[in-house]
Amino acid sequence: MSAHESPEGGRSLRPVIGATLFFLLGLLALGGIKSYRDLTQARERVDALELQIQAAEDRIESLKQEIRQLQGDPQTLERRAREDLGLVKPGELVILLPDRAEEQPAQDDPGP
């Protein structure tokens, strides 16, 4: 036997090892692509959540400012309470306007 021949009669393990390595590298590449895509989606989700948090914080600040205004002005507080709760003072005249849906005339069915 020569030094270049394998004991199996000339069959080499190089193609099998090469195919196995190629297969493993392919799996690693697919895993890397999926991980990158997942990371990108996670970053987009974080950005969206940060926008929602900022909008909520802005709304909270707006409501806090409104509370400060109402605490400092009893007339405005009374007006807002009456508007929101539908309350009236004794002697006030209340005019109820119809809803826009009720304002539209009903279409008559053309009879035979």
CA 22 to chain centroid, in Å, comes to 41
In whole angstroms, give the CA distance from residue 39 to residue 47.
12
Tell me which residues of the chain have a pLDDT lower than 70. Answer: 1-10, 102-112
Determine the pLDDT at residue 14.
Answer: 87
Determine the pLDDT at residue 112.
Answer: 54
Extract the tokens encoding 107. Answer: 């279409």
Determine the pLDDT at residue 109.
Answer: 56
Determine the pLDDT at residue 7.
Answer: 54
Nearest to 70 by CA among 60, 61, 59, 81: 81
Determine the pLDDT at residue 88.
Answer: 84
Determine the pLDDT at residue 108.
Answer: 57
Determine the pLDDT at residue 70.
Answer: 86
